[in-house]
């Protein structure tokens, strides 16, 4: 029996799991927050010294956690741009997260290439503030001296892998990480250096994109380091997603992604075409309004928390007595209605009760995400199972309505460090390939996530009627805005 480790360097902490190579059973775990010293008036949260990630990693791995480990996989936050000079020294702190400073740069880049459609055709996504390509444009405009010194571009997991290997001449990344940069095409599997030049003003060295089961290298101590990947791809791999599976993630905003055999080019910009950690693709559609819809409704009704809102909603019935909430509270991205507001329709005297509005909030949120699912289905993506992630996935009102509104079996996995587990699974794959015991095209078959499984059953027809009611109100209010 061999053991491997997966580490996940998120924006705030590092988690490490040590797993059995054959089954994926978690044997040991480590955790450490990032030592981010943020004094008042100090650096912005969107600027982080990458050394913080290494310090956190070292602390999480303390106490002999990695003893006996044969291989390590690295998952890390996506979109963190680490600009290096020709000697490999950081030019400035890493730019992480959805950096609002880069919003103007995103609009600049879209115009510079000739519009959203041109970007979708070139790389499978339209520039957004968070993406490395956009941060490069911001750097060139706002810190021209730092931009001139920038010679090498890495992301968080690339940089960590490079550090673990002792900073070799060869720098690597994987398809998943590369697909989020805005200058690598999931459809062609290649970089577009002209887009780096368009954003930064000159060419820069980019990491070699290696295969899903390839090793990035071996440490001086003989520890194999796998390719690494972004958190989204690692979590999908840790959950064991395959064809026919989609993930609906319930944060303040929502996202829907699914496994698909090919890259999707979407000229509307609604689909972001990412690659996964196995050689497949992960088309993603996002909505701006998910759990924020529930929180807003709870405040309006004077309800203390989401659990209480869920209890209130369960006193109503499917269809909320005719109330329909279009939950476009922050404007909306899917459909593209950036300047609109939410709409509450169907008000009658008998429907004006707190429980019906509570139910309408849950149904509106889930119907908005069903719209995002339909964008993918409309492009031929097979969706038979929907994995529901996020704290709100545990709420009874969500679980009662989701299967029939999505028209699919809903799987609610137990909370676990899926990104770290996915990184460990990748390490086990690379180790097995290096030893000749695993096929480079077939990852190790680990135990699936422990989960609650919910079927639409007899509620399907009722749920689809509720869904149609939502679609009718949306079409009347915003005619032609949405064409899945």
Q: 10 Å Cβ neighbour count for 448? A: 13
Q: What is the pLDDT of residues 228-239, one digit of tens each?
A: 999 999 999 999
Residues in the chain: 484
Q: Tell me the pLDDT of the chain averaged across its residues.
A: 94
**How are beta strands 47-48 and 26-33 bridged, if at all?**
unpaired
Q: What is the pLDDT of residues 276-330, one digit of tens each?
A: 999 999 999 999 999 999 999 999 999 999 999 999 999 999 999 999 999 999 9
Instruction: Give the integer Cα–Cα distance in Å for 476 and 154.
Output: 47
Q: What is the pLDDT of residues 328-377, one digit of tens each?
A: 999 999 998 989 999 999 999 999 999 999 999 999 999 999 999 999 99
Q: What is the DSSP string of 39-75?
A: -TT-S-TTEE-THHHHHHHHHHTTTTTTTT--EEEEE
Q: Is the pLDDT of residue 243 over 50?
A: yes
Q: What is the pLDDT of residues 399-426, one digit of tens each?
A: 999 999 999 999 999 999 999 999 999 9
- pLDDT at site 37: 62
């Amino acid at each position: 029996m061999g053991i491997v480790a997966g580490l996940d360097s998120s924006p705030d902490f590092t988690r490490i799991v040590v797993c059995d190579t054959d089954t994926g059973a978690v044997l040991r775990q480590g955790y450490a927050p990032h030592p981010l010293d943020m004094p008042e008036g100090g650096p912005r949260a969107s600027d982080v010294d990458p050394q913080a990630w290494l310090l956190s990693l070292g602390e999480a791995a303390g106490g002999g956690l990695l003893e006996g480990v044969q291989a390590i996989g690295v998952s890390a936050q996506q979109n963190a741009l680490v600009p290096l000079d020709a000697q490999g020294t950081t030019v400035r702190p890493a730019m992480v997260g959805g950096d609002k400073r880069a919003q103007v740069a995103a609009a600049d880049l879209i115009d510079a290439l000739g519009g959203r459609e041109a970007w979708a055709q070139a790389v499978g996504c339209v520039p957004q503030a968070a993406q490395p390509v956009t941060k490069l444009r911001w750097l060139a405009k706002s810190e021209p001296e730092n931009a001139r010194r920038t010679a090498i571009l890495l992301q968080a997991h690339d940089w960590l892998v490079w550090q673990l290997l002792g900073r070799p001449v060869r720098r690597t990344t994987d398809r998943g990480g590369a697909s989020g940069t805005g200058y690598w095409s999931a459809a062609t599997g290649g970089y577009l250096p002209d887009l780096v030049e368009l954003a930064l003003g000159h060419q820069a060295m980019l990491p070699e994109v290696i295969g899903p089961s390839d090793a990035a290298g071996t440490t001086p101590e003989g520890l194999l380091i796998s390719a690494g990947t972004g958190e989204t791809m690692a979590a999908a791999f840790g959950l064991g997603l395959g064809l026919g599976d989609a993930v609906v993630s319930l944060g303040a905003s929502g996202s829907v992604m699914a496994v698909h055999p090919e890259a999707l080019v979407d000229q509307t910009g609604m689909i972001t075409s990412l690659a996964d950690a196995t050689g497949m693709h992960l088309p993603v559609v996002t909505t701006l309004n998910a759990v924020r819809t529930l929180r807003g409704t709870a405040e309006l009704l004077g309800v203390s928390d989401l659990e209480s809102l869920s209890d209130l909603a369960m006193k109503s019935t499917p269809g909320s007595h005719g109330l329909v909430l279009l939950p476009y509270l922050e404007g909306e991205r899917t459909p593209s209605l950036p300047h609109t507001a939410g709409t509450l329709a169907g008000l009658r005297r008998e429907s004006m009760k707190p429980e019906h509005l509570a139910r309408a909030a849950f149904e509106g949120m889930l119907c908005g995400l069903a719209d995002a699912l339909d964008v993918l289905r409309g492009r031929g993506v097979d969706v038979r199972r929907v994995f529901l992630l996020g704290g709100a996935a545990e709420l009874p009102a969500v679980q009662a309505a989701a299967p029939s509104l999505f028209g699919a079996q809903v799987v609610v996995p137990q909370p676990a460090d899926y990104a770290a587990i996915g990184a460990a699974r990748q390490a086990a794959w690379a180790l097995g390939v290096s030893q000749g015991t695993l096929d480079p095209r077939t990852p190790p078959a680990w135990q699936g996530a422990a989960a609650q499984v919910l079927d639409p059953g007899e509620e399907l027809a009722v749920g689809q009627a509720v869904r149609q009611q939502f679609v009718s109100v949306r079409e009347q209010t915003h005619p032609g805005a949405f064409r899945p």
